[in-house]
Amino acid sequence: MNERPPHTPKRPSRPFRSGGASQRRERPAGRPFGEWPEDVAILYGWHSVAEALRNPRRKLRRLMATENAMKRLVEEAVPLPFQPEIVRPSEIDRLLEPDAVHQGLLVECDPLRSPSLAEAAENDLILVLDQITDPHNVGAIVRSAAALKVGAIVTTARHSPAATGVLAKAASGGLEHVPFCFVGNLARALEEMKNSGVQVVGLDSEGSADLVDTPLRAPVALVLGAEGKGLRQLTRQTCDTLARIDLPGAIVSLNVSNAAVLALHIARRAIASKTAETTSK
């Protein structure tokens, strides 16, 4: 698991060559796949690219598509801001890691704008990630967060994966719906959210009560720690309360992405119940 790098290596200086209906990039010597500068996000795969194309907030720079992928884009009426480069699958293969499943689509685009902490705190349900660094896990969490209408994901600028590539593919389009709010100090950010009225609940196996039995009200922020390490000590101390997730089966622990979707579902139901209760009065 890697920290969020301060930058990514710059695009290889070798220029593109025109080649019929497509443009080809030679594989740079000694590098297994293409690399881009830090201000470029790379999205690949059907859901990631289709959702980006549907998102008016995304500023696209380049779109590569195979003939089959292009046909599907047209059939499903996905908006196209400009004409894609029609390429063979191998043209995209050489720009990505060997095991990347791109389904004939790749986009170069600008990263989405990150909301301020104050803007993130205005949402009824917020997710906070405490040094969860695996892009597959974070991507799966983003997908669940989008499904359960999380308003923002708060995490540190360091010790978090970049919102591109593998993470974006695992998020399956969720990046277009759940913004990341990057902060310098997580404990300070939690204090600021608490001061603005957000209930901050940390998920911890040593929590005093099951999350189902913990009184939750909007706005609420659920805080998850990395697998194995869990929440850091200062993060634990800063939360309003710590809650656990009790499981009835033989295996009593979940990976962090599964724990996230279960916790978010519990919180979303609690918020809906509180809203219904308030409305009926």
Domain 117-280 has CATH 1.10.540.10: no
> What is residue 35's predicted lDDT score, i.e. its pLDDT?
64
For residues 53 and 216, what is the distance between their CA atoms, to the nearest angstrom?
36
The DSSP result for 247-274, as a single string, is --SS-----HHHHHHHHHHHHHHHHHHH
228 — pLDDT class (breaks 50, 70, 90): confident
In the sheet that 125-130 helps form, which strands lie side by side, from edge to edge?
180-183, 152-156, 125-130, 220-225, 199-203, 241-244, 209-210
Query: Any idea which residue has 């293409």 for tokens?
Result: 34
Q: For the chain, which residues make up each domain, given as ranges?
A: 17-109, 117-280
For residues 241 and 250, what is the distance between their CA atoms, to the nearest angstrom?
27
pLDDT tens, position by position, 23-61:
333 433 333 345 667 789 999 999 999 999 999 999 999
> What is residue 21's predicted lDDT score, i.e. its pLDDT?
33
pLDDT tens, position by position, 177-198:
999 999 999 999 999 999 999 9
For residues 168 and 2, what is the distance between their CA atoms, to the nearest angstrom?
16
